[in-house]
Amino acid sequence: MFNTKEIRAHFPILKRETPTSLPLIYLDSAATALKPQCVIDSVNKVLSSYTANIHRSVHFLGDEATEAYESTREVVAYFLNAEPNEIVFVRNATEGLNLIANCYNLKGKRIISSYGEHHSNYLPWTENVFRLSLNNEGEINLNELLSELDKGDVALVSLSHMSNVTGNILDIKKVIQLSHQYGAKVLIDAAQSAPHTAIDVNELDCDFLVFSGHKLGSPTGVGVLFGKACLLEEMALFLKGGSTIEEVTLNSASVKNAPWKFEAGTPAIESVIGLGVAINFLLEIGMDEIEARFHELSRFTYNEIQLKLPQASILGLQSSLSSGPYSISINGISSHLLARGLSDRYGICARSGYHCAQPLHIHMKMPASLRISFWIYNTKAEITKAVEGIAALAGIHGS
């Protein structure tokens, strides 16, 4: 059974004093998650016990650092049901998406994405791109996808698994099946879904997938690109330099195999090792347990908003079956004002703005929104306090 109290005990930041002297309520996990003590300890251990460069230091510190670094590749492979040589360490999902955009040979063919993407999966695609529209609930129309695939000449379909604004979950298995029928490869942005649900890239048969470590409890500065081994080997270098080559002569260089050919220079070694520890922490809880808890909190949040904030508009699926995060707008009241009020009055951290998805807001004709996003350490009582705080602030400023 999911024990929130026990889980919360692993996150030391929850014990800190806030400027209001009230307990910290953190509802901004869609931006970045809090870090458990085991991850903090792992980073400290690297920095205090075996700081060294990897793969090239011929001494015991280098051996220990390399072993810990490469063992994380195996942890991530297990997490995704992939092979270790299909796991590339990048700085974040943004870098992984840009790596594909710059190095995968699209051969001048078309790309399909959508208006609902995070800027990281929107801005890299500037040429020959068709963007799927969204309905009033923020969902992609799969019939429109099928129609575009049927026109032919599509090299890549790049879509998010879960929206960081609406919480809508895409039927990626269906998207992959349809796309492969027409010879198109599929890139999944799993930055929002990876912290909440088990992902099996082998079962899904996706070609590429990215996620950021900092959204699932690891240090910042590390992310993952999964790519089918055959596709990674076909791709050109993203960055050229140390660690990407086997040998350099005066006039030539021989390139390493994937994934190492994409990991130029000295990486964020302690962050990569922390990523492995964060994933193991989640696996010990159980991804099925985490997903069930996530949906429970999502339904509860929806009901609280409907009951206590009837004047609020929710971006996305208007149903208790939808998944968080929840982004809301209250007519005539700035979302920034609400976020600042939550912080200054109640010690509650929530997100205000376009959440790096301005085209989504524009397409849905919605202003900047206030986002409530929760994770494994949040309680229903915290969500109630946040919604009641918003209601109080809206009443003050609405008058």
Q: Give me the active site residues, please.
A: 356
Report the interhelical angle of 380-398 vs 335-346 (nearest 10°).
120
Report the distance separating Cα 223 and Cα 215, nearest Å.
10
Peptide bond into 325 cis (omega under 30): yes
User: Which run of H or E residues covers position 247?
Assistant: strand 245-248
Antiparallel, parallel or unpaired: β 154-160 and 185-189: parallel
Q: Which residues are paired to 114 by β-bridges? A: 132
**Residue for token digits 């109640």?**
346
Structure tokens at 180: 């492969």
**Cα separation values, 113 from 51, 77, 180, 268, 314, Å:** 42, 26, 15, 30, 23
Tell me the C-alpha distance between 15 and 225, whole Å.
Answer: 34
d(CA 300, CA 288): 18
Q: How far apart are the C-alpha atoms of 175 and 391, rounded to whole Å?
A: 39
Distance set, CA 193 to CA 210, 212, 333 (Å): 10, 10, 30
3-state secondary structure of 30: coil
What phi, psi does 143 have (nearest 5°)? -65, -35
Of 309, 336, 333, the residue nearest 396 (C-alpha):
333
